[in-house]
Structure 1
Amino acid sequence: MPKYLLLVVISLLSVSSSSIQKIKTFVYDYEGVLSMPEKNTLDSLFRQHEKKTNNEVVLLTTPDFGKYQKIDDYSLATGNKMGIGKAEKDNGVLIVFSQAQREARISTGLGTEEILTDSIAVEIMFNIMIPRFKEGKMFEGIFSGSKAITDFLEKPENEIR
Structure 2
Amino acid sequence: MRKKARWQLLVVLGLFFFSMAFAPSKHAQALPDPTTEFYVYDPSSTLSEETKSFILSVNEQYELTEEKPQIVVAVVDSLQGETIEEYSVDLFEKWEIGQADADNGVLILLALEEREIRFEIGYGLEGALTDSRTGRILDNHLDYLSANDFDGGLKEIFTEAAVVVNEEYQYDDEVIFSGYPVDTTQYSEG
Pairwise same-fold verdict (TM > 0.5):
yes
The alignment covers a number of residue pairs equal to: 142
Q: Distance in 2 between matches of 1:151 and 1:56?
A: 13
SS in 1 for 2:72: strand
Over 4 Å off, 4+ runs: none
1:45 paired residue number: 58
2:78 and 2:112 in contact (8 A); partners too? no
| Residue 126 of structure 2 corresponds to residue 113 of structure 1 | yes
Runs of 5+ unmatched residues, structure 2: 1-24, 171-190
More helix by share: 2
2:74 paired residue number: 60
2:105 paired residue number: 92
Q: Which fold has the larger relative contact order, with Cα–Cα distance below 8 Å and residues 6 or more apart in sequence?
A: 1
Aligned in 2, Cα 1:85/1:149: closer, same or farther, shift over 3 Å? same
| Residue 162 of structure 2 corresponds to residue 147 of structure 1 | no
TM-score, normalised to structure 1, is 0.78
Structure with bigger gyration radius: 2
1:16 and 1:78 in contact (8 A); partners too? no
Q: Kindly provide the CA deviation profile for residues 15-39 of structure 1, in whole angstroms up to 9, marking residues without a partner as x.
A: 9953333664200003331233332
1:16 and 1:81 in contact (8 A); partners too? no
Q: Distance in 1 between matches of 2:26 and 2:94?
A: 5
Shift of 1:51: 3.0
Identity of aligned residues (%): 25
Alignment RMSD (CA, Å): 2.2
Q: Kindly provide the CA deviation profile for residues 71-125 of structure 1, in whole angstroms up to 9, marking residues without a partner as x.
A: 1100000010001000000000000012221100000111111221000000000
TM-score, normalised to structure 2, is 0.67
Q: Distance in 2 between matches of 1:124 and 1:37?
A: 21
